[in-house]
Amino acid sequence: MTESSIINNAQSFNFAYDLVDAKAALCPEKIAIKWSNNLGVNLDISFDELRHHSDTSAWYFRKLGVKAGDKVII
């Protein structure tokens, strides 16, 4: 299955699982996010690090009682 076929199936698409976790499995050290601020601080976040943070956030929301389909503002 290609990335575009996963993304085109909007009914079941989940960014964290379908894209981030898949990329982390294939190329964990590849940079997913390049972040910087106006003070000159630069940060590269790999797909594996992003997967870890996503999993941690999902666990925390579940612990708070948030269920699939609930709306959350972040």
Query: Residue holding tokens 């989940």?
Result: 14
Residue 8 is predicted with a pLDDT of: 63
Q: Are 12 and 30 in contact (CB under 8 A)?
A: no
pLDDT less than 70: residues of the chain: 1-10
pTM above 0.85, yes or no: no
Residue 68 is predicted with a pLDDT of: 83
pLDDT tens for each residue of 21-42:
999 999 999 999 999 999 999 9
Residue 31 is predicted with a pLDDT of: 97
Burial class (CB in 10 A: 0-12, 13-18, 19+), 46: middle
Looking at every residue in the chain, the average pLDDT score rounds to 88
